[in-house]
Homo-oligomer: A and B are copies of this chain.
């Protein structure tokens, strides 16, 4: 297949006419598909329903720390749940605090607390002149929404297949004391599916922040969310690397079982140094008397240990692989060689990031919508919803069936072709 950039104006026009005709037919075929939502499908949820049976009215409601699971107490999590997360995230158990159902709310509260109370005895951010966050892009819209809501200035950091541009990260973090944090989804990034390389993780751990209250926000949301069970990617541990580098307090890591068991009815954890944990606990103890220990125990009883979780994640992978393949194969077959889009083949996570030609992302999403395929709004993966080059589109392949994905992706690639030709002809005609 010839790259579009090498086609003559006439060839492009002919192709456009043909594609436009086909597009009209597509629009009439009453398609209603959605590749916008990063939610597990019902068959994935079915994998975990057994968890609802392991704990019932006949259960013993006391765990290792002798606290009645049904009553107040153990506000930082039951011992068994801490141990499970410690084993899963490969860190000492004294680095773990188990919360409620949402790692997002752990992160929101970390920022909110820093705003009002400060971190490590430093001036609260709300009383500092300027607070900035680095945002590797494309990234997770909800991270950016949190920092935006507190008026924190966000700075885009480009990413490649190894992770964020670390030269730029070091330049900002090590020189600008207004830079207080950086958002990361280090493994199977949202949306590009990138796994941070060893070098990137080591350079993170060895940052020399200008701000004493700078922290790395390490949202390990997809730590064991592989798509290919025979190609599970390992990555360096932020806890160990920060300790080795003499920066033991420089990170907050969060994770959850939202996409292991049930979104909404899972369990989330914060992993950080005992010093940071002590500070966090001081304010969390004002916020709540404790989290849902019964649900914590339900998870522990169902999985028993990390191996139980890993075996469970292989069942998720078996369901996800054909979905990712449906999209990736379609992209490869339909767009390979055309040089009008690029993407990374993710080995895990929940998304595929697609880059159009410059200035085409919004148009592609618009064309998809008119043809009955809902995509995440272009720009969503950038701070302030602004993708400066207008290239980034997030594809969420988990919720539809593989058949639906084939159909939706066929529409998508068609729209990419159309938008790209529009761009070329637009430029040619100018």
Min CB distance A297 to B, Å, is 10
A158 at the interface (CB under 8 A from B): no
A72 at the interface (CB under 8 A from B): yes
User: Per-residue CB proximity of A26-57 to B under 8 Å, as 1/0?
Assistant: 00000000000001101001001111110111
B146→A72 contact, CB < 8 A: no
A294→B264 contact, CB < 8 A: yes
Partner of A264, one of B48, B50, B108, B289: B289
What's the Cα separation between A117 and B115 when bound, in Å? 12
Decide: A40 near B71, CB < 8 A? Known: A53-B57, A115-B116, A293-B265. yes
Partner of A287, one of B105, B264, B292: B105
Residues from chain B with Cβ under 8 Å of A105 in the complex: 287-288
What's the Cα separation between A359 and B106 when bound, in Å? 43
A263 at the interface (CB under 8 A from B): yes
Question: Chain A interface residue count: which class?
Answer: 35 or more
Residues from chain B with Cβ under 8 Å of A149 in the complex: 117, 283, 286
Min CB distance A259 to B, Å, is 10
List A residues 181-231 near B (Cβ within 8 Å). Answer: none
List A residues 46-89 near B (Cβ within 8 Å). Answer: 48-53, 55-57, 59, 61, 68-73
What's the Cα separation between A115 and B283 when bound, in Å? 15
A interface residue numbers (CB < 8 A to B): 39-40, 42, 45, 48-53, 55-57, 59, 61, 68-73, 100-102, 104-105, 108-109, 112, 115-117, 126, 142, 145-146, 149-150, 258, 262-265, 283, 286-295
| Supplied contacts A71-B262, A142-B289, 6 more A-B pairs, CB within 8 Å | A40-B71, A52-B294, A109-B287, A145-B286, A258-B289, A264-B293
Show 29 A/B contacts (Cβ-Cβ < 8 Å), sorted by A: A39-B71, A42-B68, A45-B68, A45-B70, A45-B71, A52-B57, A53-B56, A56-B56, A69-B265, A70-B263, A70-B265, A102-B287, A102-B288, A102-B289, A104-B288, A105-B288, A108-B286, A108-B288, A109-B287, A112-B112, A112-B116, A116-B116, A117-B149, A142-B286, A142-B289, A149-B283, A258-B289, A264-B290, A295-B295
